């Protein structure tokens, strides 16, 4: 700013503001870099979960096709299962089953608590050991 040099008072008043602005810009740059690193880790996690979903779909496809299932229920932590994993599993199931089965196939998350599998196992133990059902 050539005009500010002509007025030393203006230059003196602007100096602290420029320093604060530079600090703010550096802080924003650091935050942007941190967000970019986080986004890259999130993409890598989604890719890994999609790989697991493809493996799950490959393993389930013969069972779904043989039993002509219309629905498969996933139970577990929704933050892991619902998203890239479920999408990739459904796509793989659709690709690996007959069109008539794939057209009506649903792969959805359980609406029950995450401990539903543990509760089911406890019921089986009670039934087997105590005859309680």
pLDDT tens, residue by residue, 60-79 = 999 999 999 999 999 888 88
Is it the case that residue 112 has pLDDT exceeding 80?
A: no
User: How many other C-beta atoms can be found within 10 angstroms of the C-beta atom of residue 53?
Assistant: 24
> How far is it, in rounded angstroms, from Cα 48 to Cα 36?
18
DSSP per residue over 44-59, as a string? HHHHHHHHHHHHHHHH
CA atoms within 13 A on the CB side of 90: 19
Predicted pLDDT of residue 75: 83
pTM over 0.85: no
Better-scored residue on pLDDT, 111 or 36: 36
**Adjacent-strand bridge partners of 108:** 73
Return the ∠ at Cα 41 (arms to 36 and 43), rounded to 5°.
Answer: 95
User: Both ends of the chain: CA-CA distance in Å?
Assistant: 85
Is it the case that residue 17 has pLDDT exceeding 60?
A: yes
Per residue in 42-56, pLDDT (tens digit) is: 999 999 999 999 999
Q: What does the mean pLDDT of the chain come to?
A: 89
Burial class of residue 87 in the structure, from the number of CB atoms within 10 Å of its CB (0-12 exposed, 13-18 middle, 19+ buried): middle
Segment holding 23, helix H or strand E: helix 8-67
Better-scored residue on pLDDT, 110 or 95: 95
Per residue in 4-15, pLDDT (tens digit) is: 567 888 888 899
């Amino acid at each position: 700013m050539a005009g500010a040099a002509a007025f030393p008072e203006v230059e003196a008043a602007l100096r602290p503001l420029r320093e604060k602005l530079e600090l703010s810009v550096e802080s924003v740059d650091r935050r942007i870099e941190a967000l970019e690193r986080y986004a890259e880790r999130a993409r890598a996690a989604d890719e890994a979960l999609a790989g697991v979903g493809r493996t799950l779909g490959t393993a389930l496809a013969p069972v779904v096709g043989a039993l002509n299932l219309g629905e498969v229920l996933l139970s577990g932590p929704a933050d892991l299962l619902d998203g890239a994993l479920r999408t990739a599993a459904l796509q793989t199931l659709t690709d690996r089953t007959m069109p008539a089965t794939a057209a009506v196939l649903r792969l959805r998350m359980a609406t029950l608590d995450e401990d539903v599998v543990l509760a089911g196992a406890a019921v089986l133990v009670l039934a087997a050991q105590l005859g309680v059902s």
